[in-house]
Amino acid sequence: DQQVKQNSPSLSVQEGRISILNCDYTNSMFDYFLWYKKYPAEGPTFLISISSIKDKNEDGRFTVFLNKSAKHLSLHIVPSQPGDSAVYFCAGGTSYGKLTFGQGTILTVHP
């Protein structure tokens, strides 16, 4: 029973274009959602989050959209840069910092 799903294992985009990473969830009890970025041989690093009562949060080039009725969230990166190439995980959070992660999407940004 996967509560958080990232159905695209990989995404390839051109530098300067928009990257859109998608995530679906089934657990309505998540209080918030987060996106993490992970480079090989490193731990995940926090990127951006959104409360379950919001529908959009923006931070520089990164915007997260939440559609509660569809139980869907997405991360938009504009413009994409080669340094954005990494694995991106979405996660749903409840109290005590317990996170449920999706499988991850490998983003490759080509120069």
Tell which positions 58-97 bind other proteins, by CB under 8 A: 89, 91, 93, 95-97
DSSP 102: -
User: Closest by alpha carbon to 28, among 88, 105, 100, 103?
Assistant: 100
Rounded least distance, CB 63 to other proteins, Å: 15
**Cβ closest to other proteins, residue 79 vs residue 100:** 100
Among 13, 99, 107, 109, binds other proteins (CB under 8 A): 99
In DSSP terms, 25 is beta-bridged to: 4
**Cβ closest to other proteins, residue 6 vs residue 63:** 6
Give CA angle at 57 (93, 43), nearest 5°.
50
Per-residue x/- mask for other proteins, residues 24 to 63, rule CB under 8 A?
-------xx-x-x----xxxxxx--xxx------------
With tokens 């559609």, the residue in question is 67
User: Closest by alpha carbon to 49, among 8, 87, 88, 91?
Assistant: 91
The residue ranges that bind other proteins (CB under 8 A) are: 4, 6, 9, 31-32, 34, 36, 41-46, 49-51, 89, 91, 93, 95-104
